[in-house]
Structure 1
Amino acid sequence: MDIISQNLFTSLPFSPEALSNWNENIDRDLLEFIYKVYDKQGIVVKEDGSRISINHKDTVIYFYLNYRQIFQEWIKRVTLTAGQFNELIPNLIDDPEFGKVGKYFIAWNCLIRYIRAEALFFCIDHINETISEINSSMYLVSGFYYKQGLEVLRNFLEEVVKPIYFCINEAAYKNWRLNRFQHLQMHSYRDKKGIINTLLEKTIIDKDIAKEFSDLYKELSGCVHGEKKWFSSSNFSYERLCKWNDLFCRSINLAIKLVIININEWQRQKLKNIDEKVCLYCHNKHKILVNRIIEHGEEIYLEQKCSQCNQVMIIRKSQPVFKVTVSNDDGIEENYFFLNR
């Protein structure tokens, strides 16, 4: 059974809707997507060890409004920068296509937030890097560096695909962590030596996703390899902004499918060795050390430390619960508790 249902795909692609017209009816496809992601029963573990049952869906609206505000600020920054160049710019708040950009930005951030909170990730480094790539692309485009903003989107796709490959190739993942990973061809699913073809042959992805990735990656590679059509001065261009818009939405639309495939494949791998202790961060299976025992009310927790990467995990002794600490976009650490599956 999949941890995250592929029924999420039915909410994609998102429809273009002007941000100025968003409400609970207009942007229903976005809210429907987020609710599907978060519609899970969960448990909050209090300091005294007591547990409270919740549905993660109840918290969705707060995340949605927060990321919507961030996106509105981005649109204001684009408009303000254009004004500094004495450029006339359409009102992007009323532009349906840029409303679609907002939907994908919010959807990705909400999805990644859930993945981190539930520790569903195969590799936390790649998950965190996808947020950096998206933010970098938007930041560059807000200064009208369209080519550079598109180059970052290619990096974004790589951060999503590589963990799927590493999930079925443990040796490659270890080499990557040691900075010994040999670069493999990626973009062409027709290339028998490529990562995409490997995933296709093992039926982890299907032909449609393989072709979608190949076509999109090839188009973004034109920016990296300096194709003339992508060269431009750093001035506002509505045409280039719209082109970035299209590729941004297509990239996240595909990435949503790929990251869900990665999560479900990783869960299947873990179920094969359900009693095996594995570090959440580096996947070390040896010498998970117990640092200390922590008592909260009637509950007893074990603070475990990975001997390889030195990351610390908090596990409930009676029924394993992990505590994961990650840094958010503002550099503030957030602690998450989740039940061991």
Structure 2
Amino acid sequence: MSERRIVSQYMVITLSTDVIPYKAISLLNFSDESLDSSFANGDLVVFLSELYNEYNLILSESGDISFSGEHFRHYITEQKLERGLEESCNFAEQFTKYAVNTLPAPAAAETYKLINPEYFFSNVSFGRTLKYLIAWDNLCSNVLAESAFFSQAHLLEARTDIDASVDMAARFYYKQSFQILRGFLENAVLPVHFCN
């Protein structure tokens, strides 16, 4: 499959045999790491590097053709990682904002402990969840770029379902968050599983 996109005065043609390389999929068992640790240097970087492990032909305005090498691959990986880290920090800030500003229920007022504002940045389970959100976003981007989706509407709906589920969880609407997540699993994950 190939993809064409214009980058300033160059045309980049991506040559790849797989939309989602098997080696990238095999790396999807992420480790627990918090946002304030080596989050950006661990298994997520390796996953993104394998996901964007493709050859690119670069055609300049003058007609010169060149191959992109490791440098271009690292550039794409860094750009995707930087975007993912920015979104992850936004999620952590959103969760922190709602957790800090929440008042306890009257029955729990006596045992209520204030949350540490750095909790979501230092929690390893939350960090692992953020890695999967970054991976999901990049997998969707690859599938959409290669026109390899079984249904564009379902894929786009699945993306918004994940975002909505996270937003509901941040606001303490856990029941609604799980309902949206269940819809994602039933409408996006199970059909692909049964298709395989």
Same-fold call, TM cutoff 0.5: yes
Give the aligned CA root-mean-square deviation in angstroms. Answer: 2.7
- Listed as ranges, the gaps of 5+ residues in structure 2 are 1-16, 105-113
* Structure 1 equivalent of residue 68 of structure 2: 54
* Structure 2 equivalent of residue 186 of structure 1: none
Instruction: Tell me the SS of whatever aligns to 1:20.
Output: coil
Give, in whole Å, the separation in 2 of the partners of 1:51 and 1:157: 44
Identity percentage of aligned residues = 28
Cα 1:23–1:154 change in 2 (3 A) is closer
Cα 1:97–1:118 change in 2 (3 A) is same
**Whose helix proportion is higher, 1 or 2?**
2
Deviation at 1:95, TM superposition (A): 0.7
* Structure 2 equivalent of residue 72 of structure 1: 89
Q: Is the 8 A contact 1:20 1:93 kept in 2?
A: yes
Equivalent of 1:92, from 88, 98, 120? Answer: 120
* Structure 1 equivalent of residue 31 of structure 2: 15
TM-score by length of 2: 0.72
* Structure 2 equivalent of residue 32 of structure 1: 46
156-165 vs 95-104, greater mean Cα deviation: 156-165
Q: Is the 8 A contact 2:19 2:143 kept in 1?
A: no
Cα 1:158–1:3 change in 2 (3 A) is same
Cα 1:5–1:19 change in 2 (3 A) is same
Give, in whole Å, the separation in 1 of the partners of 2:179 and 2:127: 22
Deviation at 1:113, TM superposition (A): 1.5
Deviation at 1:119, TM superposition (A): 2.4
Q: Which has the higher contact order (CA 8 A, sep 6+)?
A: 2
- Listed as ranges, the gaps of 5+ residues in structure 1 are 166-195, 205-341
Give, in whole Å, the separation in 1 of the partners of 2:59 and 2:190: 33
Deviation at 1:52, TM superposition (A): 5.2
Give, in whole Å, the separation in 2 of the partners of 1:104 and 1:33: 11
Deviation at 1:108, TM superposition (A): 1.0
Cα 1:15–1:23 change in 2 (3 A) is closer
Give, in whole Å, the separation in 2 of the partners of 1:79 and 1:24: 21
Superposed, 1:46-195 pairs within 5 Å as 53-54=67-68, 57=73, 58-86=75-103, 88-90=114-116, 91-161=119-189, 164=192
Q: Deviations over 1:147-169 (max 9, x none)?
A: 1111111121233247648xxxx
Cα 1:155–1:42 change in 2 (3 A) is farther
Instruction: Figure out how many residues of one structure are paired with residues of the other and give that number.
Output: 166
Amino acid at match of 1:16: D
Deviation at 1:92, TM superposition (A): 1.2
* Structure 2 equivalent of residue 220 of structure 1: none
Larger Rg: 1
